[in-house]
Structure 1
Amino acid sequence: MDREQGKAAASLPDLGATVANSGDDSRWCAVTEFLGQVPLLQCLPGSSIRRIAEAVQVKHYEPGDYVAREGEPVDGLCIILDGQAEVSAPANTEEANRPDYVLNKYDYFGYGTNSSVHQVNVIAVTKLSCFVLPSQYGHLLQTKTIWNAEETPESHSLMEQILHLEKLEVDIFRGFTLPEAPTFNQVFGGQLIGQALAAASKTVDCLKLVHSLHAIFLIAGDNNMPIIYQVHRERDGTSFATRKVEAKQKGLVMFTLIVSFQKEELGFEHQAAIMPVVPPPEQLLNMEEIRERRLTDPRFPMQYRNSAAKKKFVPWPIEMRFCQDSKSQHEPSLHYWFRARGKLSDDPALHRCVVAYASDLLYSGVSLNPHRKRGLKTYSLSLDHSYVSRVIIGVFNLPHSSHQ
């Protein structure tokens, strides 16, 4: 064996007993799941992680082998899969054994250096297995946003821009309230839910998608301040993962989210709800068209129309088309079609964040429907919010009910 270059492996190392003897698809899934735990890759779009999983090579080393030698060319990003390696200390230090110089599982090197050659020696301490992403695939590590590798946020919908986060540290992200986003005099609850879910989604592998969440609103948010999202890894399993997210402003926790992720698997389904018979969205008016008609419809009192015309109107980033007419306005339920306005990147996690955002837009209003009467004045806000995700395909008809 070449003790300096390691031994390239034709098959993946033991990522689990089931993977070792499984087909290519299972191996690819196992690699994808592993890469989802590497901090460096945390903010990459799911599409980039999938391409990296296809491109990585596997190398094995024996104790004492050189994984990298000082002065030799960097051949790509190396991620420790199993075992331990030691980084040789610079010549001017006496702390050769300090923990900083030991690399363990999920640690990496060879990326982000200012030179094309290794600056230190990296030596296997134990039997060592590594994933290596060859240099020609380095562009996969450079992305425009957390959702898209090639296009800037400005080229996508307002909805995607709202859900874009900046990574500050491992498991810590920063979000903003955009000037053109709905605010309702304070940070919109759906924005907190969507951004917190986005942060949590970036800490699990891209094969696990949200299936349920529970949000608690503690303090009203300030639209003019950034929001810090800190993710706590409560549990990581083969099929499930659980995250707790805290949203903070001025050092205070203003919002918490508990979210459960699940890997798509075959299983039993128990769905009592039946898709209602409703008109297709193409036959219905959206909110803006309804507002325009009411402003000019002589059947509405002028006082109402003048008052509505004076109010500042900010179109939502979600387009909604209501299935029921005004006769059903007192029912404690509502059916409508909805979709994000504009273009969304093709990332399943993003699409689920959009649905989570939209889920908080109309609930309080629907719950008030049975109590509406002339002259009624109310004040409402969200205290907590639960949401169960199902398979998302195409356009939705989402029933809202105050009984759910």
Structure 2
Amino acid sequence: MDVPVSARPRSYVNEESQGGSYLVNCILNLEKIEENIYRAHHSWKSSNLQRVYGGQVVGQAQVAAGNTVDSNLSVHSLHCYFLRAGDRNKPIVYKVENLRDGQSYATRLVQAVQNGKSIFTMIISFHRQEVSHFQHQCQMPDVPLPSNLLSDEQLLHKLEATPGVPQAVKDRVRSHFENAITMEYRRVDPVSLVKPTDKTSKIVLWVRAIGDIGDDMNMHRCVAAYMSDNYLATTCVYASNIKIKVGMLTSLDHTIWFHAPFRADDWLLFDFDSHWSGNGRGMATGKIWTEDGRLVMTVSQEVVLRHKL
């Protein structure tokens, strides 16, 4: 059963501090231009990613859509297409269209625009809390808890102190830690990060947002959407053949189903896998769990996957 939120009108726009979260106060903080139109001024920037990070656009579009529905509704699914690469140095405008307001569900269409062209589109559905007599879920993987795993900083120090590790490997591992300003990890299999093999077909890691997100459960879903795009596409490379050099790896679409309430600033287990690749594409799926074993999200993504010529 969902966690009820305040009956006040929802507003993620230009609010004051929400517990010091960089994600909430900067990246997911949108300016309202006019009715159903919002602008994002901030982008997360990485030396490895020259375009806009896909999870950022998903999270920002979700915030924009959430501003147009009743606060007693919670997002339960979203389906996105990435149409063009976004410029991380320019603002993104989000246009929200009201497709339907029903008694139990509300549906919105969101377009993200840069330079007068759509770079992204999303259909998102919100659901009013209700009691269900049908309840089940699959079992969470048996993995170590995050408290028993090393932080990325500890892993990097351990790697630096290990004799014989090539500098190229150290640089690659260090590059994975660049997004520490928004989220932190506890890696179930850190060896695969240093030296993935042909048998590495899954990525399993604990993730949580840095900073206090606050008490609005809808914002926790927006933050989780932002986080869900990280490492998902990489499973297609691991599952196919790690020895093949990648020439292009980029998301085509992204889908999330939200099952139950959670906090994105608590540890969440990301269990990502890829079951198919071919014809220049790859398919990745994932389940996201809370530390106490509740399945709270399911994600899927298709990517462009091409070898380096």
TM-score by length of 2: 0.76
The structure richer in strand per residue is 2
Question: What corresponds to 2:184 in structure 1?
Answer: 319
SS at match of 2:248: coil
Deviations 1:175-204 (A, max 9, x none): 123466788111110000000000001111
Question: What corresponds to 2:204 in structure 1?
Answer: 335
How far, CA to CA, are the matches of 2:175 and 2:255 in structure 1?
Answer: 35
Question: What corresponds to 1:251 in structure 2?
Answer: 116
Question: What corresponds to 2:224 in structure 1?
Answer: 355
Matches within 5 A, 1:17-166: 47=6, 49-50=7-8, 146=13, 148=15, 151-152=16-17, 156-160=20-24, 161-166=26-31
Residue 304 of structure 1: how far off its partner (Å): 3.0
Structure 2 gaps of 5+ residues are 276-284, 286-309
Distance 1:249 1:276, change over 3 A: same
SS at match of 1:190: helix
Residue 286 of structure 1: how far off its partner (Å): 3.0
Do 1:147 and 1:345's aligned partners in 2 also have CA atoms closer than 8 Å? no
Residue 374 of structure 1: how far off its partner (Å): 4.3
Distance 1:286 1:187, change over 3 A: same
Residue 206 of structure 1: how far off its partner (Å): 1.1
Distance 1:306 1:399, change over 3 A: closer
SS at match of 2:106: strand
Question: What corresponds to 1:126 in structure 2?
Answer: none
How far, CA to CA, are the matches of 1:182 and 1:350 in structure 2?
Answer: 27
How far, CA to CA, are the matches of 2:248 and 2:209 in structure 1?
Answer: 27
Residue 171 of structure 1: how far off its partner (Å): 0.6
Distance 1:342 1:239, change over 3 A: same
Structure 1 gaps of 5+ residues are 1-28, 30-45, 53-140
Deviations 1:345-368 (A, max 9, x none): 221111000111111011111121
Q: Does 1:402 align with 2:274?
A: yes
Residue 300 of structure 1: how far off its partner (Å): 2.1
SS at match of 2:127: strand
How far, CA to CA, are the matches of 2:78 and 2:205 in structure 1?
Answer: 22
Q: 1:202 corresponds to which letter in structure 2?
A: N
Distance 1:162 1:309, change over 3 A: closer
Match of 1:376 among 228, 245, 251: 245
| Alignment length (residue pairs) | 265
How far, CA to CA, are the matches of 1:368 and 1:359 in structure 2?
Answer: 17
Distance 1:336 1:303, change over 3 A: closer
How far, CA to CA, are the matches of 2:175 and 2:250 in structure 1?
Answer: 24
How far, CA to CA, are the matches of 1:310 and 1:344 in structure 2?
Answer: 25
Question: What corresponds to 1:236 in structure 2?
Answer: 101
Q: Does 1:185 align with 2:50?
A: yes
Match of 2:170 among 260, 282, 305: 305
Distance 1:182 1:270, change over 3 A: farther
Q: 2:187 corresponds to which letter in structure 1?
A: F
Distance 1:318 1:352, change over 3 A: same
Matches within 5 A, 1:267-286: 267-269=132-134, 271-286=136-151
Question: What corresponds to 1:390 in structure 2?
Answer: 259
How far, CA to CA, are the matches of 1:375 and 1:301 in structure 2?
Answer: 20
How far, CA to CA, are the matches of 1:312 and 1:332 in structure 2?
Answer: 21
- In angstroms, what is the RMSD of aligned CA positions? 2.9
How far, CA to CA, are the matches of 1:311 and 1:195 in structure 2?
Answer: 23
Q: 1:397 corresponds to which letter in structure 2?
A: L
